[in-house]
């Protein structure tokens, strides 16, 4: 009996040893360990089987994105291993762990758009944000850029530029020399997580590139007597912005009817589209006025002894626009067609009677004010643009250091650097009767007057420059009732001429 027990014990030990030895002496297995975000989810026999299972289970995503295949999350990592352990996870178990923790991916393209440094109204440098946009088809991006360009550039001119069929300038006219995106843009093919915003159509991406959002824009119901200009100004947008948001209208003279619904969209372009034009124009050259004083004539009387006649120049310019807004006008050639004839007037009384700045001042009446620059190109007018009021007109193309003139006689109440935020070297003149004019962005060291000086209409007060918040050489000329930015109201200075 004792021997039987010993024999059974021996056989059990041999059996246990044999089983254990067999488990670790089998041929090593090739398996795949699945990691998600660096954390192991388990091991599987076939990585291909997991990929196929994911694709099969995500028919909904295939239909949504109109693709043939759905892929694993971009944080999924599958590594080959050799193991003796037969404790494998099923494909379904691994799939369910993935589905709960990370988004699946689709084939597509990432468009990286680098931000651009600009200058704020406070003359501080500011860089727009870097962005990554996702599309499944690269053509969606290229077509949306094309759409965006057509929002800022005349469609016919853009077509002629692309097809190289622009009509050469014979006398006057304009041609597009170049159109490009100022931002650094790169496009790369990659797997895109489905929880990212993916632009499926050129229309939706065009909307985002223009307005910075794909949300529905504000609507306005037209009232009796409304015009596009009125609606635009009252809603703090430019007429150009109105026409971009309402493509059914050709220009701001289009007729509206009561009850009509229009879109009010403030532009927030996400890329900087640069258009460079070569332009030849015929430009009027203002005549000078020569004033003499006759003490024998009654004070306040004026006699024109020689009528002034405007001259004419043929001017060739290089104009740069960013997102439809003129940022630089450079005159490269000026051909005199007709010289102006000086106006000569005789005023009654002594000259010193007119130097006080407060005698005989005219109100802001059309035709009574002098033009403040030596050229007449208005690069940007008075009005709202991108949600902010441009409170004057920009005059450009005269050249750095060219003369700036007092538009009317008055008293200089401020002159120098930064008299207003972003104005750079500037002059503010009080014309009395409540009117003020401001002349901003003059060249450094070009000011010819100081606070307290009395000036007369046409007197040189400084030179054109690019100080302060200015993207190019120009004069920002503004007209106010009341002191600017305190109790004053900006008026359109074009109403003076």
Q: Are residues 96 and 120 in the same domain?
A: no
| 213 domain residue, yes or no | no
CA gyration radius, the chain: 37
pLDDT of residue 272: 95
DSSP state of 399: -
Q: Are residues 239 and 313 in the same domain?
A: no
| 175 domain residue, yes or no | no
**pLDDT band at residue 357 using 50, 70 and 90 as cut-offs:** very low
Q: Are residues 92 and 187 in the same domain?
A: no
| 124 domain residue, yes or no | yes
Q: Are residues 305 and 451 in the same domain?
A: yes
Give 426's strand partners: 416
User: What angle in degrees, to the nearest 10, is found between the helix axes of 91-101 and 47-57?
Assistant: 60
Contact criterion met (CB below 8 Å) for 425 and 447: yes
pTM of the model: 0.80
**Cα–Cα distance, 339 to 94 (Å, whole number):** 86
Contact criterion met (CB below 8 Å) for 199 and 133: yes
Average pLDDT over residues 46-68: 94
Q: Are residues 391 and 476 in the same domain?
A: yes
Contact criterion met (CB below 8 Å) for 134 and 192: yes
Q: Are residues 295 and 381 in the same domain?
A: yes
Tens digit of pLDDT for each residue in 138-150? 999 999 999 999 9
Q: Considering 264, 283, 301, which residue would you say is the last residue of a domain? A: 264
pLDDT of residue 103: 96
- Evaluated on CA atoms 6, 10, 15, 16, the torsion sign reads positive
Average pLDDT over residues 163-188: 96
Q: Among candidates 275, 405, 400, which has minimal Cα distance to 330?
A: 400
Q: Are residues 394 and 284 in the same domain?
A: yes
Q: Are residues 434 and 466 in the same domain?
A: yes
pLDDT of residue 478: 97
Tens digit of pLDDT for each residue in 290-334? 888 888 888 778 889 999 998 999 999 999 999 999 999 999 999
**Cα–Cα distance, 141 to 139 (Å, whole number):** 5
Q: Considering 49, 75, 102, which residue would you say is the last residue of a domain? A: 102
Q: Say if residue 184's pLDDT is above 70.
A: yes
State the CATH number of the domain containing residue 229: 3.10.350.10
**Cα–Cα distance, 55 to 106 (Å, whole number):** 10
Contact criterion met (CB below 8 Å) for 481 and 435: yes
Give 414's strand partners: 428
**Cα–Cα distance, 436 to 481 (Å, whole number):** 6
User: How high does pLDDT run on average in the chain?
Assistant: 88
| 147 domain residue, yes or no | yes
Contact criterion met (CB below 8 Å) for 221 and 260: yes
Q: Are residues 348 and 487 in the same domain?
A: yes
**Cα–Cα distance, 450 to 492 (Å, whole number):** 26
Backbone angles phi, psi at 28, to 5 degrees: -55, 145
**Cα–Cα distance, 76 to 98 (Å, whole number):** 8
Number of domains composing the chain = 4
| 371 domain residue, yes or no | yes
| 18 domain residue, yes or no | no
Residues 6 or more apart from 43 whose CB is under 8 A from it? 31, 32, 33, 34, 81, 83, 85, 87, 88, 89
| 8 domain residue, yes or no | no
pLDDT of residue 85: 64
Using alpha carbons only, what angle is made at residue 445 by residues 441 and 449, rounded to the nearest 5 degrees?
80
What residues make up the domain containing 54?
26-102
pLDDT of residue 28: 81
Q: Are residues 235 and 255 in the same domain?
A: yes
Contact criterion met (CB below 8 Å) for 401 and 373: no
Residues 6 or more apart from 287 whose CB is under 8 A from it? 308, 309, 310, 311, 340, 341, 342, 343
User: What angle in degrees, to the nearest 10, is found between the helix axes of 202-211 and 138-152?
Assistant: 50
- Evaluated on CA atoms 445, 446, 448, 452, the torsion sign reads negative
CA distances from residue 414 to 240, 439, 449 in whole angstroms, order as listed: 34, 11, 9
**Cα–Cα distance, 236 to 255 (Å, whole number):** 20
Burial class (CB in 10 A: 0-12, 13-18, 19+), 316: middle
CA 69 distance to own-chain centroid: 38
Q: Are residues 420 and 383 in the same domain?
A: yes
| 9 domain residue, yes or no | no
Tens digit of pLDDT for each residue in 261-299? 999 988 999 999 999 999 999 988 878 778 888 888 887
Using alpha carbons only, what angle is made at residue 72 by residues 66 and 78, rounded to the nearest 5 degrees?
155
Scan for tokens 């124009």, then name that residue: 281
Tens digit of pLDDT for each residue in 429-469? 999 888 999 999 999 999 999 999 999 888 999 999 999 98
Q: Are residues 283 and 425 in the same domain?
A: yes
State the CATH number of the domain containing residue 338: 2.70.70.10
**Cα–Cα distance, 269 to 115 (Å, whole number):** 12
């Amino acid at each position: 009996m004792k021997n039987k027990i010993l024999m059974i014990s021996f056989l059990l030990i041999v059996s246990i040893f044999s089983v254990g030895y067999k488990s670790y002496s089998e041929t090593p297995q090739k398996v795949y360990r699945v990691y998600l975000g660096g954390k192991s989810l388990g091991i599987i026999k076939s990585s291909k089987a997991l990929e196929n299972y994911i694709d099969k289970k995500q028919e909904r995503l295939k239909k949504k994105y109109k693709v043939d295949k759905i892929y694993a999350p971009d944080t999924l990592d599958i590594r080959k291993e050799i193991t003796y352990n037969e404790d494998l996870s099923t494909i379904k178990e691994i799939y369910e762990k993935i589905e709960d923790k990370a988004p699946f991916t689709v084939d597509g393209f990432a468009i990286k758009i680098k931000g651009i440094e600009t200058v704020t109204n406070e003359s501080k440098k500011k860089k727009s944000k870097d962005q990554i946009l996702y599309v499944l088809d690269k053509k969606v991006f290229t077509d949306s850029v094309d759409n965006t360009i057509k929002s800022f550039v005349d469609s016919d001119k853009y077509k002629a530029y692309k097809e190289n069929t622009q009509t050469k300038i014979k006398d006057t006219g304009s041609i597009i020399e170049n159109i490009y995106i100022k931002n650094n843009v790169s496009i790369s093919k990659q797997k895109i997580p489905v929880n990212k915003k993916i632009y499926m159509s050129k229309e939706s991406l065009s909307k985002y590139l223009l307005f910075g959002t794909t949300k529905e824009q504000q609507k306005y119901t037209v009232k009796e007597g409304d015009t596009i200009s009125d609606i635009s100004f009252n809603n703090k947008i430019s007429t150009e912005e109105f026409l971009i948001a309402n493509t059914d209208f050709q220009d701001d003279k289009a007729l509206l009817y009561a009850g009509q619904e229009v879109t009010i969209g403030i532009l927030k372009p996400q890329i900087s589209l640069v258009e460079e034009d070569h332009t030849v124009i015929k430009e009027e050259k203002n005549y000078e006025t020569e004033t003499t004083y006759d003490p024998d004539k009654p004070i306040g009387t004026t006699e024109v002894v020689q009528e002034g006649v405007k001259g004419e120049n043929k001017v060739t310019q290089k104009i740069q626009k960013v997102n439809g807004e003129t940022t630089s006008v450079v005159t490269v050639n000026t051909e005199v067609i007709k010289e102006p004839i000086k106006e000569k007037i005789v005023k009654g009384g002594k000259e010193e009677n007119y130097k006080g700045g407060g005698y005989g001042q005219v109100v802001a009446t059309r035709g009574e004010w002098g033009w403040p620059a030596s050229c007449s190109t208005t690069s940007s007018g008075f009005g709202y643009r991108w949600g902010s009021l441009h409170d004057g007109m920009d005059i450009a193309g005269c050249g750095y250091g060219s003369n700036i003139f007092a538009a009317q006689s008055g008293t200089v109440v401020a002159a120098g650097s930064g008299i207003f935020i972003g104005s750079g070297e500037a002059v503010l003149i009080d014309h009395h009767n409540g009117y003020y004019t401001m002349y901003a962005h003059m060249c450094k060291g070009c000011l010819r007057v100081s606070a307290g000086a009395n000036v007369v209409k046409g007197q040189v007060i400084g030179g054109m420059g690019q100080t302060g918040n200015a993207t190019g050489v120009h004069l920002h000329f503004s007209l106010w009732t009341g002191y600017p930015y305190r109790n004053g109201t900006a008026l359109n200075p074009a109403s003076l001429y």
